Amino acid sequence: MTPINPGFYKDLLDQMSDGVYFVDRDRRILYWNQGAFRLSGYNAEEIVGRYCQDDTLCHVDSAGHRFRRDGCPLSACVEDGKSHEAKVFLRHKLGRMVPVAVRVQPIRDTGGSVVGAVEIFSDDSAQQEARRKTEGLERLAFLDQLTQLPNRRFVEMSLRTALSEYQVHNDPFGVLVIDLDRLKTINDSFGHVTGDLALQEVAKTLTGSLRPTDVVGRWAATNSWPSSAT
């Protein structure tokens, strides 16, 4: 019987649409397949030999918080030898955030000791869109109807989370408060409809200019007040 060429397994893994990579106990990346390249934009030459803690892929949860060692499914798998799953976002080489479903399994030696882990991650965009639709009604409670930005309630929650992370992990963060100059003059001279349009354009500009992990929202006294009056 002709022995199977070890390259066969690499070719097989490279045909998968899912990303696959292996790490050792120190979370040093030993293998990176073509599926991982297609999903992340990073080829094997750029990734193999690097450590997960280098945070090249910038894994974050749905709220934009980076995973710590104690919250990373890969780290947990190496430590406890159990399978783990998670829904996360990774940062593509081009800068966009890609939703992925992650499954991690331990790698053991002949004696049963954990010597590393294998992670399989797949594009979760379709499922993410479905979840966004089902959660639409819940999100309305945190949405400013005029600008379609998160409202004051959501911003306050985000600030509390950031403060908590600062107290626990000493993660610095910044807060920028922006006021639209001469909004009252716009309302008085051209009407509140024009003032609303000005607020909407500012909201679009800010949304398109910030990083995916940043939070931008409308800090109004109350979202039930006339939009241009605050």
Q: Where in the chain is the domain with CATH 3.30.450.20?
A: 6-131
Give the residue with greater pLDDT, 230 vs 59.
59
Q: What is the mean pLDDT of residues 151-179?
A: 86
Determine the topology of domain 6-131 in CATH. Beta-Lactamase (3.30.450)
Q: What are phi and psi of 107, to 5 degrees?
A: -110, 130
Q: What is the mean pLDDT of residues 112-131?
A: 84
pLDDT at 68 over 80: no
User: Are the CB atoms for 21 and 111 separated by under 8 Å?
Assistant: no
pLDDT at 137 over 80: no
Superfamily of domain 136-229: Reverse transcriptase/Diguanylate cyclase domain (3.30.70.270)
By mean pLDDT, which of 20-34, 127-141, 178-192 is the weakest?
Answer: 127-141
pLDDT of residue 4: 45
pLDDT at 228 over 60: no
